[in-house]
Chains A and B, each alone.
Chain A
Amino acid sequence: MSTASGTNSGASKPASTRAKPANKAEAAADWVDGRLGIYSLAKANLRKIFPDHWSFMLGEICLYSFIIIILTGVYLTLFFKPSMAETVYHGSYLPLNGIRMSEAYASTVNISFEVRGGLLIRQIHHWAALVFVAAMFVHMMRVFFTGAFRKPREINWLFGFLLLCLGFFDGFFGYSLPDDLLSGTGIRFMEGAILAVPIVGTYIQMFLFGGEFPGTDIIPRFFTIHVLLIPGIMLGLLVAHLILVFYHKHTQWAGPGKTEKNVVGMPLMPVYMAKAGGFFFLVFGIIAAMSAIATINPVWAYGPYRPDQVSTDAQPDWYMGFAEGLIRFMPGWEISVWGGHTLNLGVFIPLMIFPLVLVAIAVYPFIESWVTGDKREHHILDRPRNAPVRTALGAAWISLYLVLLAGGGNDLIATHLHMSINTITYFVRVGFFVVPVITFFVTKRWCLGLQRRDKDKVLHGRESGIIKRLPHGEFVEVHTPLSQADLHTLTSHEQPEPLELPAETDENGVARKAGVVAKTRTKLSEGFYGEGNQIAKPTSEEYLEITSGHGHH
């Protein structure tokens, strides 16, 4: 730790020990440093090294779309009226002329047609929200499949997970605010789901809606949650997330000169200031162009919400599609318990699986570190193929998500592909259990195959495509040996040994039974790293034997 002004030892004369600043800018910086201590902050960070890889910018997309959402959201609040008071529309959008609607809906239509540029900002806001959640998903996948969540980054993984969940819900609340036919249907769905909660369901429903559905409170309440409560929490988590990224320093791929003890890349100033700063404008520019080209959520076409009306193809925004799939494929089980009380399992079970699907990703780092028993820090990323079980689990999770997403869009699949909606739903019911399992095994085999290929490449070199005829007539393909840098990169990963159960008897010969937990852990560890779950990487002895022995291959 260095201090800002500690470099000059003769600090007895305050404020004048520092050399005269060379120019106005330095003078200003000195002034700020005297109050905020910026020099010590900048010393560690101004030339901070970040490694370069395309996948490391996925998190930036999240950050930038979040900023775009906040900027456009603030603008929208200047015109949006979060009120369910009734009004009769007399605006410039003639098809709605004379129709009763809430102030929320009327003001949304006005933002779209009366306020110049209002439609653009609304569409940027909505597009950016979709991009935000999508980017968080992909960013999280990158972190998952490369093992970047391992120590010391587990807490940051949880922060990211919370941001994803809050992003889901804030998106849902925002989607609900315009009070159009589609968003009202979404709120109705939420009401039905709340009612399915045993014992307290009706109380939560009454307290949330301020009475019976729909009442007049829900939109103002959602508004506060959407613009203040959730974004406030998210902003806090985001700052914490970024501080930890800086503090931990970024992970990097294996390669020549890269170790667990260093980070190789380019400095924040100037390269990443320009690249990352520029990337904000790229993201913003592309989302603005998307909003110019592609209409999103044309609420004026849906009409105001009425509880007795609905349109077909009612769909939530994509990220809620898996919840929609859960609710659609579930059989309508309703049972009577405790003297005639109704337990609506058909809705309650999906409502419980929904958080479970999410929590599964949240807790994964802790499960893996428990199974491996690994307490070390990891800064070098795994290639997905070198962690076959992890990769297969992740792929299974994604396949489950996609099955549910297809289930949530079963009506669209049915109408667009001319298929029976019943067949699709039955497929989803079976697929929910079967597809992730198949995906798991296929992915694992695939990873092992790629490991074999790497091994082959290391030992025998790269296929050159050149066919050589030997003097005795044999044809061989010439293999080009890899450079030492490539050899190092392909062999630098670790291959953990599976844990072993402690001996059945201790040193005195007394029987010592392993508990269920210890046995499970050993079994899981065997499943992760045991025989057949990873391909032993080539050793330098194998390599030397092959390369020194015979000329060809």
Chain B
Amino acid sequence: MSHDMSENLPEAHGASHGTEVVTHDDPFADPGLPAHEPRRTDIDERAAKRAERQVSLMFVVSMLATVGFIASYASIDADKLVYIFPLGKVSALNFALGMTLGVALFCIGAGAVHWARTLMSDHELPAERHPIEASDEVRNDVIEQFKTGAAESGFGRRKMIRNTLIGSMALVPLSGVVLLRDLGPLPEDKLMHTGWAEAKPAEPIRLVNMNTDQPMKPEDIIQGSLTFAKPHGLEESDEDFQQQIAKDALMLVRIAPEDIKDAKSRDKGFEGILAYSKICTHVGCPISLYEQQTHHALCPCHQSTFDLADGARVIFGPAGHPLPQLKITTDEQGFLVATGDFDEPVGPSYWERKR
């Protein structure tokens, strides 16, 4: 309330507490609803007119923004980029459409709220509440009606009808449950082995570099490097590629043989080249961060850390067991090959997995 208007207020002269019934015996008693304090727009017609113009202005701005939206849609190319400070380069169309739509909507809202706050009545009114609970009379009446209904149905008396009805109602959803059977196959041993299972000592499968799509020789893998590999014959265009690569993906590292702490792991490798499953044993993220000095591999999803020099032992994080290691060797042409599957299932553990 500004100074020049204050003398217009009916309650300006200390009368604002006038409605409070000061009960002397209880100073904390409820004095009742306070008197309504008029707003400037209630008592000054010029202020009310001004508020009216402001509300209309916002609605007009909204109309203009909608016109701007349609114009932007029609005139701006979808691939045009524009520099907007401080956002940087953004899609011109997205920015124009979003801002015009935003302004068009916001102004309707701002206009309506301003209208309500300045021009609509702000007299606070009380309304009575009634208890949610029904009166005893209604309650007893309803219970009586229910009992009459139940008795008329004979549900409690004719036990055979009741029991067979319960039986049929209990059985009928089974049809729905049975129908769900074909949602998917049974697990069987599907999670137990990978695409590498097709490798036999007599017919080994070559390891193919994921990036170059070429088989690799031991000398292609330098010490300290990290290489991703897949089995020979698995192509991106294969129908089941996603499903296969989710289990077959390999991570190859080369560690100086004397640095490999786990003898069994060293034997599975070839001249210090170790082939581990790339799929984290926690919940299946592909592991992709390798620290060559410490030989630690870190899963970027949940930070399980494996020591690849020590049989991929879990040294930190939520993974429950080491990464499975694939036994590798070389074929007659000197390419890296696998001669069989992993010894254990890859990826997250599950109930049927043997430890």
Contact = CB atoms under 8 A, between A and B. Distances in A.
Interface of A: 48-49, 52, 92, 100, 113-114, 116-117, 119-120, 123-124, 152, 185, 188-189, 191-193, 195-203, 205-215, 217, 247-249, 256-257, 259-267, 270-272, 274-275, 277-293, 295, 305-314, 327-334, 336, 340-347, 377, 379, 410-411, 421-422, 425, 458, 483-485, 487-488, 491-492, 540, 543-544, 547
B109 A282 contact: yes
B320 A332 contact: yes
Contacts of B121: 266, 271
Q: Which 8 A-B pairs have the closest CB atoms?
A: A292-B98, A192-B283, A285-B106, A278-B112, A334-B320, A281-B109, A257-B33, A289-B102
B14 interface: no
A187 B120 CA distance: 52
B27 to A, nearest CB: 5
B152 interface: no
A256 B98 contact: no
A29 B212 CA distance: 75
B18 interface: no
Nearest to A197: B351
Given A202-B350, A274-B112, 6 more contacts: A48-B127, A248-B132, A289-B103, A341-B352, A347-B283, A540-B27
Contacts of B120: 270-271, 274
A214 B116 contact: no
Contacts of A267: 125
Given A188-B285, A543-B27, A292 B94 contact: yes
Contacts of A288: 98-99, 101-102, 105
B351 A343 contact: yes
B73 A205 contact: no
Interface in B62-92: 73, 78-79, 87, 90-91
Nearest to B17: A483
A292 B113 contact: no
A321 B228 CA distance: 30
25 contacts: A48-B127, A52-B124, A116-B73, A116-B78, A117-B97, A123-B94, A188-B284, A192-B284, A197-B351, A206-B186, A206-B187, A212-B246, A213-B243, A213-B246, A256-B34, A262-B128, A275-B116, A284-B106, A289-B103, A290-B102, A292-B102, A310-B301, A311-B300, A344-B350, A410-B303
Interface residues of B, number: 102
Most central of B30, B113, B279 by chain A CB within 10 Å = B30
Contacts of A307: 242, 245-246, 249, 279, 284, 286
Interface in B274-311: 278-279, 282-286, 288-289, 300-304
Contacts of B246: 188, 212-214, 307-308
Contacts of A52: 124
Contacts of B126: 49, 257, 262-264
Contact of B116 (A248, A274, A341): A274
Interface of B: 17, 20, 22, 26-34, 73, 78-79, 87, 90-91, 93-99, 101-113, 115-117, 120-129, 131-132, 180, 183-187, 190-191, 210, 228, 230, 236-237, 242-243, 245-247, 249, 278-279, 282-286, 288-289, 300-304, 314, 316-321, 347-355
Contact of B104 (A201, A266, A279, A285): A285
Contact of A484 (B31, B79, B283, B347): B31
A267 B105 CA distance: 24
Given A198-B351, A346-B320, A377-B132, A492 B30 contact: yes
B245 A193 contact: no
A134 B230 CA distance: 43
A119 B32 CA distance: 55
Contacts of A120: 94, 97-98, 101
A283 B237 CA distance: 46
Contact of A208 (B99, B131, B183, B242): B183
Contacts of A124: 98
A285 B210 contact: no
Nearest to B350: A195
A70 to B, nearest CB: 16
Contacts of A295: 90
A271 to B, nearest CB: 5
B105 A284 contact: yes
A29 B79 CA distance: 51
A284 B282 CA distance: 41
Nearest to A283: B109
Contact of A265 (B111, B125, B183, B249): B125
B122 A279 contact: no
Contacts of A281: 105-110, 112
A540 B350 CA distance: 67
Nearest to B348: A192
A308 B132 contact: no
Given A49-B127, A332-B304, A271 B122 contact: yes
A197 B26 CA distance: 64
Given A207-B183, A332-B319, A280 B128 contact: no
A485 B283 contact: no
Nearest to A259: B30
Given A264-B124, A285-B109, A292-B99, A485 B78 contact: no
B237 A100 contact: yes
Contact of A292 (B97, B236, B285, B318): B97
A237 to B, nearest CB: 20
Nearest to A122: B94
Nearest to A326: B318
